[in-house]
A and B are shown apart, each in its own frame.
Chain A
Amino acid sequence: MAVDFKELFGDFKNGLWNENPIIRLVIGMCPTLAVTNSTENGLAMGLATAFVLIMSEIVISLIKNLIPANVRIPSFILIIASFVTFTDYFLKAFFPAIAASLSIFIPLIVVNCLILGRQEAFASKNPVHRAIADGIGMGLGFTWVLTLLGAIREFFGMGSIMGIQLLGAWYRPMVIMVLPAGAFLTLGILVGIMNLISREG
């Protein structure tokens, strides 16, 4: 089986922009809205989700022919849940600070529809190497938008980025930006801007 690199690159790029999970497909909203109140949380959440996504896409793509169609969804969920539990233990053991700040949202990756959606739409229909490219693309696409959202909200809401204070004491933080409402406002404006760019381009 010859590997078509152009196709692979297309799969990878797809997740970064054309079918970006957050700003294009608008899926995986639970962590998007909940944890992006600081840059660091957004980045950590994005990477954790990307890891689970890539690993489960690999496994599911490998065993896709062994799973009967009737139980494919429960099978996907079991595999995803295993990787999520692994991530949860791993972070608690080696990165306790990150685990503490994301707390409940790590176990909640199980129900992130981005992950289940990609298994159903991509990994269960394509060979392993394409699934890896798709996983990395989608994972990074998810991560960069989450990090950007976190950065915007942290900047306006607390006057800092990555915990480093950028604006002085004169700046009165817009508390709404770190509250849930700020997530909706920022995301809405971001999706609008992205649509404007792609329409002109």
Chain B
Amino acid sequence: MEKNSTKNLILTLSIIGIISALLLTFVYQWTSPYIQANQAENQRKAINEVLSGAETIKQVEKDGETFYEGYSADGQRIGVAYKNSGGGYNGIIELMIGFDIENQKIFRISVLSHEETPGLGARITEQEFKSNFVNKPFGQYQVVKTPAQSELDVEAISGATISSVRTTRIIQDAVTKITKAYGGGK
């Protein structure tokens, strides 16, 4: 049989394709529990990070949205964490945001996943940017390129204005949702 016959070409590619697919199936089955565990672990860590001091976390459904309520050891509600996502510069940005409902402010934010440019937009995960939202009161946030003047200002990362604006937009959206679900404070 001639080596370059059509039958031979199809056969070769099919065999390589089948072997590759088989091997990758095993790799997928082997790694996916670890990948899922990593993601679950990340989410748990993120909730603990944004609701510091919470002993127990309760998952609550409200208006079709999932909220994570954090309670202290003596049963007091410390705050509520909410996972929100939206488009960034390259892909989806997923954030965990901790809210202090009583005082109408954000505790802290944590970035669960993103596809921003490494070294630029990816710096939304760094403390320097995240500190913008520590104890931030609810309101209309303004992204600025200079050090923040008012308490609603958010200082953008230099070279990554779009990532900064989009992240702020996701947080703004989360604030709207949490105010709707939990009402205006007390």
A contact set with B: CB distance below 8 Å: 35, 37-38, 41, 66-71, 74-75, 78-79, 81-82, 85-86, 89-90, 92-94, 96, 100-105, 154, 157-158, 175, 178-179
Contact A179 B120 (CB under 8 A): yes
Are A94 and B34 closer than 8 Å at their CB atoms? yes
Q: Which residue of the partner chain, among B16, B27, B35, B114, contacts A79 with CB atoms under 8 Å?
A: B16
* B115 and A68 within 8 A (CB): no
Is A71 a contact of B20 with CB atoms below 8 Å? no
Inter-chain contacts of A154 with B (CB < 8 A): 119
On whether the beta carbons of B115 and A103 are closer than 8 Å, the reply is yes
- The reply to whether B159 and A86 form a contact with Cβ atoms under 8 Å apart is no
A102 touches B120 (CB 8 A): no
**Cβ distance B49 to chain A, nearest Cβ, rounded Å:** 16
Q: Which residue of A lies closest to B37 (CB)?
A: A93
Main secondary structure of the interface of A (DSSP, over half): helix
Contact with A along B1-17 (1 / 0, CB 8 A): 00110001100110011
CB within 8 Å for A100 and B113 given contacts A78-B20, A89-B35? yes
Given A89-B27, A90-B31 in contact, is the A104-B16 Cβ separation under 8 Å?
A: no
Contact A71 B113 (CB under 8 A): no
Q: Which of B3, B23, B113, B118 contacts A82 (CB 8 A)?
A: B23
Starting from the known contacts A69-B4, A86-B24, 4 additional A-B residue pairs (CB-CB under 8 Å) come to A41-B119, A68-B3, A96-B38, A103-B114
Size band of the B side of the interface?
20 to 34
- CB-contact partner of A178 in B4, B91, B119, under 8 A: B119
Q: How far is the CA of A65 from the CA of B91 in the complex (A)?
A: 42
Residue contacts A-B, CB under 8 angstroms, 28 given: A41-B118, A68-B9, A68-B12, A69-B4, A70-B9, A75-B12, A75-B13, A78-B13, A78-B17, A85-B24, A86-B23, A86-B24, A90-B27, A92-B38, A93-B30, A93-B31, A93-B34, A93-B38, A94-B34, A100-B113, A103-B118, A104-B90, A104-B91, A104-B115, A157-B119, A158-B119, A178-B119, A179-B159
Q: Which residue of B lies closest to A158 (CB)?
A: B119
